[in-house]
Amino acid sequence: MPTRKQRRRRQKLKRHEYEYVVETEEGEVPLERLRDAEESKRENGRRKDEKVPVDRRGRPIQPPTFRRVLRRALILTPILVAFVYLTSGDELAPVGIVLNALILIAFFIPFSYFVDSMIYRTSIRRLEKDRAAGRGR
């Protein structure tokens, strides 16, 4: 059995026979207009009829950027330093450990960007193929 608060909320949503409304700073706004406003904020200037590639979870796939790759590398750097330290034994000095980790990161950054761009291009192709088949996602 719903609580009094839940019943009031449900009655408030169904107050108008023709549409659902939501209370905002501007007052009561129809739910469809609120959704449209949120979608336009999320699209960041894209046209409404333009579709973005999405992954299997339904999340939009962003185009590859070096900024995202560098953030990923910053997260991975301490893990790589610890890995090199644990696997090197007593053979390497601290300078050698850091140098090895930097070499691995220098390999990781362009490789990660390359993988991101491949995933993005593949998703774009899949989206265009679905559009051509008339199945639009």
Are 76 and 110 contained in the same domain? Answer: yes
Q: What is the mean pLDDT of residues 67-89?
A: 92
Q: What is the mean pLDDT of residues 96-102?
A: 91
Are 65 and 38 contained in the same domain? Answer: no
Are 118 and 103 contained in the same domain? Answer: yes
Quickly tell me which residue has 């839940």 as its tokens. 6
* Tokens representing residue 89 in the block: 């034994």
User: Do the Cβ atoms of 32 and 112 come closer than 8 Å?
Assistant: no
Local confidence band at 110 (pLDDT 50, 70, 90 cut-offs):
very high
pLDDT for position 89: 81
Q: What is the mean pLDDT of residues 18-23?
A: 62
The total domain count for the chain is 2
Residue 22 phi, psi dihedral angles, 5° rounding:
-130, 140
Reply yes or no on whether the pLDDT at 5 is more than 80: yes
- Higher model confidence: residue 23 or residue 73? 73
Local confidence band at 59 (pLDDT 50, 70, 90 cut-offs):
confident
* Tokens representing residue 43 in the block: 């699209």
Are 68 and 123 contained in the same domain? Answer: yes
| Domain housing 19 | 1-50
* Tokens representing residue 59 in the block: 């999340």
Are 120 and 59 contained in the same domain? Answer: yes
- State which amino acid sits at residue 91: E
